[in-house]
Every structure is written in C-alpha cells, then in structure tokens.
Amino acid sequence: MKPWWKARRISVFVVTSALTVIAAIGISLLGIELAGGIPEWQQCLKDNASYFRLWRILFYSALAYGWYCLRRRLHRRGIDPEQHHRLLRTEVALVALLLLLELLIN
C-alpha cells in the first residue's frame, strides 16, 4: 500500500468520525430545544427508552448480518490461520465492546 493511500484512508476515517460526532451533537441540541430544556429532554429519552432499545436491536442485527456475509465471503476466498485468528479476535473485541456499551446505557 502506498503511503499516500494510507494517509488518505486515515483522513477519510477522521473526517467521517468528526462529522458523525457533530451530527450527534446537533441532533441532541435540536432535541433539547424542541423538548423545552434538558430535564424535559431527559424525560423524553426515558419515556421512549423501549423504542431506542428496539432500534439498537435492529441496528445490531443488521450489523451482525452484514458481518456474517462479509465473513462468509472472506472464508470462500480462503484465509490463512493467522488471518482467521485476527478475525476471531476482532469479533470477540467487538462483541465485548457492544456488551459494555449496553451495560453502561442501562
């Protein structure tokens, strides 16, 4: 991989992450404004917690399905044992991260 290509990939990741954070902050500020203040916004989030939980379940299901399809494609191409081991470590880390995030939310 050429050095400029790696720098470009990192730049795209950083810009995408920054835009995602800015969008999340903007949506939160809009929600606070529409709800009438922070206490009302927090109450609105509590009142709709079950809908957010359902959304997260659907989101995680879509991610799992996409990951399953990607994993199947990788195995069809043929991966060596070291790549398989790295893939497995990534999967375990991702599941642990999602479980930790869900435990922190609740």
Same domain for 105 and 54: yes
Segment 11-24 mean pLDDT: 94
Give the model's pLDDT for residue 66: 92
Owning domain of residue 73: 49-106
Rounded to whole angstroms, the Cα distance separating 86 from 97 reads 16
pLDDT at 75: 84
pTM for the full predicted model: 0.67
Contact status, residue 67 vs residue 80, Cβ threshold 8 Å: no
Residue after which a domain boundary falls, among 31, 47, 63: 47
Q: What is the rounded CA–CA span in Å between residue 30 and residue 25?
A: 9
Considering the chain, what is the average pLDDT of its residues?
A: 90
* C-alpha separations of 34 from 29, 37, 69, 77, 86 in Å: 9, 8, 40, 51, 46
> Do residue 57 and residue 9 come from a single domain?
no
pLDDT in tens, 31-83: 999 999 999 999 998 999 999 999 999 999 999 999 999 889 888 888 888 88
